[in-house]
Chain A
Amino acid sequence: MAELIQTDRAVPPPSWPMFRALVGIGMLCGLLIVSVYVLTGPVIARNEARALEEAVFRVLPGATSSHTFVLTDDGRFRSAEAGTPTDSAGAEEGTPTYSGMETEAGTPTDSGTPGREIKAGTPTDRMVHAGYDDNGSLVGIAIQAQGMGYQDVIRVLYGYDPTRETIIGMQVLASKETPGLGDKIEKDTAFLANFEALDVGLTPDGRSLQHEIVAVKGGEKSQPWQIDGITGATISSKAIAAMLRESSAQWVPAIHRQQAIFTRLEVTDDRQ
């Protein structure tokens, strides 16, 4: 690109045309980006919500509607969606009422699309999604987990059934594992079958899991809390086991303790 080399350096160029060009074009470009952002924003948000909901329904077989809950700083779950019918009876003594919480958090009450508005600024790692079947009874709770894989962070969504105390489904949301090897964690039917009934039963005191989730060599699974690894994708399989182990140890006791919030809501919730 010989054209790029400037030869006329002797005379200092006038600065006004340069200033005008840079500022003018900068403003034009800024305006363009802002208008496209405003136009596409709602569509993108809808796409993301739909993608998440589809994933929730996939890890909770039989679920046809979902509802998002947030774990607050005091370790309690509450509904994260605006337009939720209030339920003043707490699951445990001292549980703040939904209405009180909503007001505190400043939920916009004039929201145009009730029931689908997730509060801005809620970190996704504190959200869980309860799935309900056609009759409105709880199928399970979808939880996001993430951990380091072979290439990059893997993000998964798994479904937990509190009544059976098992994991009933798992789906990889994002991974950059090696095509053909590590990415089998997304498609391999034998591997995914591990998560149709993976035991996460709690100890009698309800504080921790009876057995930690562990990955074993392919074909050596003998206990319901073990995951049959994929031959040729050992690191990726172990990564999934590790993130489920960590995540379930954190979430399962908490959800189990407050199970009533999830099942109670569907009684009062008049979702369309």
Chain B
Amino acid sequence: MTGSDSAGSTGRTPTTDEFIKGLWRENPVFVQVLGMCPVLAVSNSAINALAMGLATTFVIVLSNTLVSTLRNFIPKQVRIATFILIIATFVTVVDYLIQAISLDIHRALGAFISLIVVNCLILGRAEAFASRNGVGRSILDGLGMGVGFTFALLCLGGVREILGNGTLFGAAVFPSGFQPWIVMILPSGGFFTLALWLLLFNRLRARQAHRQATLAEAAP
């Protein structure tokens, strides 16, 4: 977990920073490397990635809201049990909602909807942020983390679907002669794609840190 959680919680009013940090600086997948199980498993197509991302966002926002609302009511000793209870409830809710919206998506996501419960990203946000901050800030935090998670899943899902199936959101992107790289849809393709994205993100962050360091040195 990154250290800026406690630093950010000194201010009491909700700020856009709570939202922005999840997108880039503390991106759950590319920076915190949390919740890898669904990231690798359901990012074999862009639509699955989007559905999983939205489901996780829904759960994280609602669990953050409830945890933050009840944070003074929950004794420290039983907080993890209550957090899991709350998270499991919203996962069950989202499971029914997805079944009601589309059985095809439900079938494609399979067991991974129920496994949102054990996505450590959500418990991590409840423990590290929502249980220490006000409702407004917690909602923004959850929203930012959820959108960051969805963005990362889409990065993986998009690449894997384009290369592995020649389509994006089901629409063909290559001329008909394209031979899909089946390995990209298989689990190993998930690892390759994740590795390449992590490489890119770490490189970008290293360059940014380097630039800031030189700027700081140059400044009087």
**A29–B89 CB distance below 8 A:** yes
User: Given A33-B89, A179-B186, are A1 and B103 also a contact pair (CB < 8 Å)?
Assistant: no
**B78–A21 CB distance below 8 A:** yes
**A4–B182 CB distance below 8 A:** no
**B85–A29 CB distance below 8 A:** yes
A190 an interface residue at 8 Å Cβ cutoff? no
Residues of A contacting B110 in the complex (Cβ-Cβ under 8 angstroms): 176
**B185–A4 CB distance below 8 A:** no
Minimum Cβ distance to chain A for residue B183 (Å): 9
The residue that B97 contacts in the complex, of A17, A40, A180, with Cβ under 8 A, is: A40
Residues of A contacting B85 in the complex (Cβ-Cβ under 8 angstroms): 22, 25-26, 29
A1–B86 CA distance with the chains assembled, in angstroms: 20
| B window 67-100: CB within 8 A of A | 70, 73-78, 80-82, 85-86, 88-89, 92-93, 96-97, 99-100
The residue that A6 contacts in the complex, of B76, B93, B100, B127, with Cβ under 8 A, is: B76
Q: Which residue of B lies closest to A17 (CB)?
A: B75
**B128–A3 CB distance below 8 A:** yes
B14 an interface residue at 8 Å Cβ cutoff? no
A43 an interface residue at 8 Å Cβ cutoff? yes
The residue that B93 contacts in the complex, of A22, A33, A47, A51, with Cβ under 8 A, is: A33
A 6-37 to B, binary, CB cutoff 8 A, 1 in contact else 0: 10000001100110111011100100110011
**A47–B186 CB distance below 8 A:** no
User: Given A1-B124, A180-B180, are A36 and B92 also a contact pair (CB < 8 Å)?
Assistant: yes
A174–B106 CA distance with the chains assembled, in angstroms: 12
Residue among B100, B128, B164, B180 facing the most chain A CB atoms (10 A cut-off): B100
B 117-128 to A, binary, CB cutoff 8 A, 1 in contact else 0: 000000010011
B1 an interface residue at 8 Å Cβ cutoff? yes
Interface contacts (Cβ under 8 Å), in number, total 79
B44 an interface residue at 8 Å Cβ cutoff? yes
A48 an interface residue at 8 Å Cβ cutoff? yes
Minimum Cβ distance to chain A for residue B37 (Å): 17
| B window 182-198: CB within 8 A of A | 182, 185-186
**B127–A22 CB distance below 8 A:** no
Range of interface residues on chain B? 20 to 34
A44 an interface residue at 8 Å Cβ cutoff? yes
A99 an interface residue at 8 Å Cβ cutoff? no
Minimum Cβ distance to chain A for residue B101 (Å): 9
**B75–A13 CB distance below 8 A:** yes
A1–B81 CA distance with the chains assembled, in angstroms: 16
B205 an interface residue at 8 Å Cβ cutoff? no
A178 an interface residue at 8 Å Cβ cutoff? yes
Q: Which residue of A lies closest to B5 (CB)?
A: A3
Residues of B contacting A101 in the complex (Cβ-Cβ under 8 angstroms): none
User: Given A29-B85, A179-B182, are A43 and B78 also a contact pair (CB < 8 Å)?
Assistant: no
Q: Which residue of B lies closest to A19 (CB)?
A: B78
B207 an interface residue at 8 Å Cβ cutoff? no
A26–B180 CA distance with the chains assembled, in angstroms: 49
Minimum Cβ distance to chain A for residue B217 (Å): 33
A260 an interface residue at 8 Å Cβ cutoff? no
Q: Which residue of B lies closest to A14 (CB)?
A: B75
B210 an interface residue at 8 Å Cβ cutoff? no
**A6–B82 CB distance below 8 A:** no
| A window 104-158: CB within 8 A of B | none
B residues touching A (Cβ–Cβ < 8 Å)? 1, 44, 70, 73-78, 80-82, 85-86, 88-89, 92-93, 96-97, 99-100, 102-103, 107, 110, 124, 127-128, 164, 180, 182, 185-186
What are 23 A-B contacts with C-beta separation under 8 Å? A1-B127, A6-B77, A13-B77, A14-B75, A17-B75, A18-B75, A21-B73, A21-B75, A21-B82, A25-B70, A25-B86, A29-B88, A29-B89, A32-B89, A33-B89, A40-B96, A47-B100, A47-B102, A174-B107, A179-B186, A180-B164, A180-B180, A181-B182
5 A-B pairs closest in CB distance: A180-B182, A29-B89, A43-B100, A40-B100, A179-B185
For the A-B complex with A14-B75, A21-B74 known, give 13 more contacts whose Cβ atoms are closer than 8 Å: A1-B124, A3-B127, A4-B127, A6-B76, A20-B73, A24-B73, A29-B85, A29-B88, A29-B89, A32-B93, A40-B99, A179-B186, A180-B164
